[in-house]
Amino acid sequence: MISTLSTSRIDITLPEWLHTCLNGSSTERISAEDDRRQSDRALIHGAFEFAYQLHQGQYRKSGEPYICHPVAVAGILRELGGSAAMIAAGFLHDVVEDTEVTIEEIEQRFGKEVRLLVEGVTKLSKINFKSKTESQAENFRRMFLAMAQDIRVIVVKLADRLHNMRTLEHLPDEKRRRIALETREIFAPLANRLGIWHMKWELEDLSFKYLEPESYRQIQEYVAEKRAAREERLTKVAEVLRSRLMEAGIQCLDLSGRPKHLYSIYQKMQKQNKEFHEIYDLAALRIIVNTNEECYRALAIVHDACRPIPGRFKDYIGLPKPNRYQSLHTGVIGPWGRPLEVQIRTLEMHHVAEYGIAAHWKYKETGGSHATHLTAADEKFAWLRQLLEWQNDLKDAQEYLESVKDNLFEDDVYVFTPKGDLVSLSPSSTTIDFAYRIHTEVGNHCAGAKVNGRIVPLSTRLQNGDIVEILTQKNGHPSLDWLNFVRTSAAKNRIKQWYKRSRREENVARGRELLEKELGKPGVENLIKSQPMQIVAERCNYHSMEDLLAALGYGEVTLNLVLNRWREVVKAQQPVTTASTVPTKELLPTTKALRDVPPASSRSTDSPIVGVEGLVHHLAKCCTPIPGESIIGVVTRGRGISIHRQGCQNLETVEYERLVPVHWNSAGEVQSRPQTYPVNIQIEALDRVGVLKDILSRLSDQGINVRHAQVKTANGQPALIDLGIEIRDRPQLEQVFTQVKKLSDILNIRRVGQIDE
Ramachandran quadrant class, 369 (left: phi over 0; alpha: psi -120 to 50; beta: rest): alpha
Q: Give dist(CA 360, CA 150) in Å, integer.
A: 13
> What residue type is 4 in one-letter code?
T
**Number of neighbouring beta carbons within 10 Å of residue 270:** 10
SS3 375: coil
Q: Which residues contact 56 (CB under 8 A, 6 or more apart)?
A: 65, 67
Range list of H helices, 309-396: 347-355, 359-362, 382-391
> What residue type is 398 in one-letter code?
Q
User: Judging by DSSP bridges, how do beta strands 609-610 and 454-456 pair with one another?
Assistant: unpaired
3-state SS of 81-117 is CCCHHHHHHHHHCCHHHHCCCCHHHHHHHHCHHHHHH
Q: For the chain, how are helix, strand and coil distributed in percent, rounded to 5? A: 50, 15, 35
> What residue type is 16 in one-letter code?
E
Range list of H helices, 183-318: 188-193, 197-211, 213-247, 262-272, 292-305
SS3 19: helix
> Per residue in 539-556, is it b (16+ CB within 10 Å) or e — as a string?
ebebeebbbbbbbbbbbb
Residues with catalytic function: 97-98
- DSSP assigned state of 260: P
**How many Å separate Cα 497 from the centre of its chain?**
19
